[in-house]
Structure 1
Amino acid sequence: MTSEQNNSPSVAVVTGASAGIGRSAAVEIARSGSGVIVTYHSRPEGAAETVQLIEGEGGKAHALRLDVGDTGSFPAFRDEVRAVLRSVWETDHIDAVVNNGGFGGGRAFEDMSEEAFDEYFRVLLRGPYFLTQALLPLLSDGGAILSVSSSSVRPGETEVGYSGYAGMKAGLVTASRYLARELGDRGVRVNTIAPGPTRTRIGGDAFEMYPEIIPAIAAKRHWVVLGSRMTSAE
């Protein structure tokens, strides 16, 4: 990760960093030498643990609350980010945005309600799209935007009950491709990643509640996040 000014610190914003993939991303980014603003929604203690992990390895991080599904709060969040950048890192810009915050869980098409569909939309597509727009004035030329999609969007992945979830994640992939074209003149890289089933707290701690599901999922040889390290599920 690079900063637009050689003597200015590099800082990334990672949403949903109180656990799982977001925590792993925040820790690894910090290991590369960047500062990290970690966001959380309902688990401040988890965000504090992420900050502690980073600081324990000599890095620097700061936690802020963010509801990715509430676009009306984004201007105030941007102001908070700007204030933290100045007070903690003595800079006025960020170098990366990692859109990870969200939720999982399937819902059969027959059972899908408009309310549930709208929640998928608010959190998984509209939220990261407009959060990126809100933070764009703070993003350095040559910076990076990375959004976490899902293996459910890949051809051949048609798990029953994921039409709503996968539809939003696929929309994020398509939007990111177009943003890469729009922001290319600034040298901003826009990408998505599509992790497979991942051992996190998502889905109401499903892995803890139903450990019998783990062997079958692991047999697919996806990558699984354990703690703050990436390990093969093989």
Structure 2
Amino acid sequence: METQNKIALVTGGSRGLGKNAALKIAAKGIDVIVTYQSKKDEAQNTVEEIKKLGVKAAAVQLDVADAKSFDTFLSSVKEALSSTFNAEKFDFLVNNAGIGIHASSAETTEDQFDTLVNIQFKGPFFLTQKALPYLNDGGAIINISTGLARFALPGFAAYASMKGAMETLTKYQAKELGSRGIRSNIVAPGAIETDFGGGVVRDNEQMNAGIASNTALGRVGLPDDIGGVVAFLCTEDARWINAQRIEASGGMFL
């Protein structure tokens, strides 16, 4: 009888940092469910890439901004667990899905604020709550923060505030779920070259150079610098790491 692989659910896992994390998790022999909002083809391509690493994979649609859709989403996850993985529960929840809105606190609109709250804080708060019955004891939650919760770069007031809330929530999850052996940690990337926020870090040479000059390791981060940290937190080697904020920024603004 084949042993059951552990299973990770990665929100926003079809592209960017989430895709990188999903691939790094798969490389550790962990099965993966990725979620996507609208780009089903992209998600399916990611699933095929994951399968090439010798594990099982599935993609499920999720709008993390719509908390009322989470029951339906988790029903779909349950079906995928049964049909693709022959399992009833999963082991790791990676709350990765997110967007960036660049606006100062003086210019942020209420609509922008509400969008960020729904996607960056309310979404992961209630998705994690509703996923708890599907999460195996001894599993782990990995949330995603940002270096911007530690240092301030004008233009990210609302976004960084939500991430600060996620950092506090992570500690409470760790405390409250410890009796089930579930760990909760949060990874805080520095500036990364992706299409995040319209690709501003990747495509704006001046910004890219400015960040590199303020980073101890002398360059801007890449998705490959982050995915492995998330994957590590899904392994037995990380079993005693709990309630921690792990910044992966190359030493930005030290």
C-alpha contact (below 8 Å) 1:22/1:100 kept by paired residues: yes
- Residue number in structure 1 paired with 2:115: 119
TM-score (norm 1): 0.90
Pairing of 1:1-234 with structure 2 (within 5 A) = 7-154=3-150, 157-207=151-201, 209-219=203-213, 220=215, 221=217, 223-226=221-224
What is the CA deviation profile of residues 74-132 of structure 1, one whole-angstrom value per residue up to 9, with x for unaligned ones? Answer: 00111111110010111101000000000013211121111111111000000001011
Partner letter of residue 102 of structure 2?
G
What is the CA deviation profile of residues 174-218 of structure 1, one whole-angstrom value per residue up to 9, with x for unaligned ones? Answer: 011011100000000011010101111111233564344323223
Partner letter of residue 159 of structure 1?
L
Distance 1:106 1:232 in 2: 20
**SS in structure 1 of the partner of residue 106 of structure 2:** helix
- Please identify, of 216-225 and 29-38, the stretch whose mean Cα deviation from structure 2 is larger: 216-225
C-alpha contact (below 8 Å) 1:224/1:233 kept by paired residues: no
Distance 1:19 1:211, change over 3 A: farther
**Structure 2, unaligned runs of 5 or more:** 229-247
C-alpha contact (below 8 Å) 1:199/1:226 kept by paired residues: no
Percent identical residues:
37
Q: CA deviation at 1:27?
A: 0.4
Partner letter of residue 45 of structure 1?
D
Partner letter of residue 96 of structure 2?
N
Q: CA deviation at 1:57?
A: 2.1
Q: CA deviation at 1:65?
A: 1.0
Distance 2:178 2:226 in 1: 32
C-alpha contact (below 8 Å) 2:91/2:136 kept by paired residues: yes
**SS in structure 1 of the partner of residue 189 of structure 2:** coil
- Please identify, of 200-209 and 64-73, the stretch whose mean Cα deviation from structure 2 is larger: 200-209
- Residue number in structure 1 paired with 2:233: none
TM-score (norm 2): 0.83
Distance 1:57 1:141 in 2: 26
Partner letter of residue 224 of structure 1?
L
C-alpha contact (below 8 Å) 1:20/1:228 kept by paired residues: no
- Please identify, of 80-89 and 211-220, the stretch whose mean Cα deviation from structure 2 is larger: 211-220
Distance 2:202 2:41 in 1: 19
Report the count of equivalent residues. 227
Distance 1:232 1:224 in 2: 10
Q: CA deviation at 1:232?
A: 8.8
Distance 2:170 2:250 in 1: 28
Distance 2:249 2:126 in 1: 33
What is the CA deviation profile of residues 24-81 of structure 1, one whole-angstrom value per residue up to 9, with x for unaligned ones? Answer: 1100111111110001112223212221221222222111111110000000111111
Distance 1:35 1:233 in 2: 29
**Structure 1, unaligned runs of 5 or more:** 1-5
- Please identify, of 39-48 and 101-110, the stretch whose mean Cα deviation from structure 2 is larger: 39-48
C-alpha contact (below 8 Å) 2:193/2:199 kept by paired residues: no
Distance 2:186 2:95 in 1: 9
